């Protein structure tokens, strides 16, 4: 009997060790994912918007607009979907009594605003917009209109960029905006590309802090 209990205890101890190692590996992977900067490459060229997403600078295409026309091979691969079977009528349930929600007070409203401000600051602080390349031609009905539009764009573009640079990290590789006086055909090829990256760790930490404050001030009782 003692030998059997010792064997069972040894097996349980081994299983606990394996489970602990697996938990440590999962936690390490989660921390690594939070520390790895995720990125997205956005480009607009030749009237086509392309978005690529990935991590560690390696991106893969995830979205394109307008979508490329399907080839004959892709059409053949698509099979007609089977008709779904008719669902059985659900049983009638008795209406549950509505739960009484907490009232929205001034303290709760201030807590919500503080939490929203904390999250916005965390998101803006974690964002990095780099490798910005902008080449745009400002056009008009005639050369005079193109010159006026160019002046208007210059008047508001750089002040806006200055304000954004105070809140978001911006890195320009190219910023070329020129008046395009070609009336028949554009002489400047429009293109915009940039990379958006962020570490999720700072955003997650801020979100946990905000949720803890909401729980302490009983803000969640207003919505649940």
The per-residue pLDDT for range 193-206, each reduced to its tens digit, is 999 888 777 778 88
| Higher pLDDT among residues 46 and 156, named by residue | 156
Residues 176-191: b if buried by 16+ CB within 10 A, e if exposed:
ebebbbeeeeeebeee
User: pLDDT tens for residues 105-142?
Assistant: 778 788 888 888 888 888 888 888 889 998 888 887 77
Q: What is the pLDDT of residue 59?
A: 81
CA distance 39 to 14: 41
Residue 97 pLDDT > 80, yes or no? Answer: no
Query: Distances from the Cα of 201 to the Cαs of 108, 148, 219, in angstroms?
Result: 27, 46, 24
User: pLDDT tens for residues 8-63?
Assistant: 777 777 777 777 777 777 776 666 666 677 888 888 887 788 998 887 777 888 88
For the record, the structure tokens of 122 come out as 């965390």
Whether the CB-CB separation of 110 and 151 falls below 8 Å is answered with no
Residue 86 pLDDT > 60, yes or no? Answer: no
H or E stretch covering 215: helix 200-216
Q: What is the pLDDT of residue 73?
A: 63
Please give the average per-residue pLDDT across 91-104, as a whole number.
Answer: 62
Q: What is the pLDDT of residue 72?
A: 65
Q: What is the pLDDT of residue 187?
A: 72
**For residue 179, what pLDDT band results from cuts at 50, 70 and 90?**
confident
Q: What is the pLDDT of residue 178?
A: 83
Strands 37-45 and 58-65, by their bridges, are unpaired
**For residue 74, what pLDDT band results from cuts at 50, 70 and 90?**
low
Going through the chain in order, the beta strands assigned E by DSSP cover 37-45, 48-55, 58-65, 128-138, 169-179, 191-199
The answer for residues whose C-beta is within 8 angstroms of residue 157's C-beta and 6 or more apart is: 177
Q: What is the pLDDT of residue 93?
A: 63
Mean pLDDT estimate for the chain: 77
Sign of CA dihedral 98, 104, 107, 110: positive
Beta bridge partners of 48: 45
For the record, the structure tokens of 71 come out as 């080839």
| Higher pLDDT among residues 192 and 73, named by residue | 192
Q: What is the pLDDT of residue 91?
A: 61
Residue 90 pLDDT > 60, yes or no? Answer: no
Torsion over CA of 141, 143, 147 and 152, rounded to 10 degrees?
Answer: 0
| Higher pLDDT among residues 56 and 162, named by residue | 162
């Amino acid at each position: 009997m003692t030998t059997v209990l010792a064997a069972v205890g040894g097996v349980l101890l081994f299983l606990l060790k394996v489970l602990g190692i697996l938990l440590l590996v999962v936690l390490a992977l989660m921390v690594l994912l939070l520390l790895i900067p995720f990125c997205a490459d956005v480009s607009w060229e030749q009237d086509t918007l392309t978005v690529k997403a990935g991590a560690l600078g390696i991106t893969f295409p995830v979205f394109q607009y307008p979508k490329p026309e399907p080839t004959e091979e892709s059409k053949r691969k698509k099979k007609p979907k089977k008709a779904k079977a008719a669902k059985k009528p659900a049983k009638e349930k008795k209406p549950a009594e509505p739960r009484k929600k907490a009232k929205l007070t001034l303290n709760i409203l201030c807590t919500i605003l503080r939490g929203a401000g904390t999250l916005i600051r965390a998101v803006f602080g974690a964002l990095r917009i780099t490798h910005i390349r902008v080449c745009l031609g400002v056009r008009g009905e005639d050369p005079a209109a193109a010159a006026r539009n160019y002046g208007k764009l210059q008047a508001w573009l750089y002040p806006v960029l200055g304000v954004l640079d105070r809140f978001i990290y911006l890195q320009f590789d190219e910023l070329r905006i020129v008046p395009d006086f070609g009336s028949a055909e554009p002489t400047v090829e429009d293109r915009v590309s940039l990379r958006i990256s962020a570490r999720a760790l700072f955003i997650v930490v801020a979100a946990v802090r905000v949720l803890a404050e909401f729980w302490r001030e009983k803000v969640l009782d207003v919505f649940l």
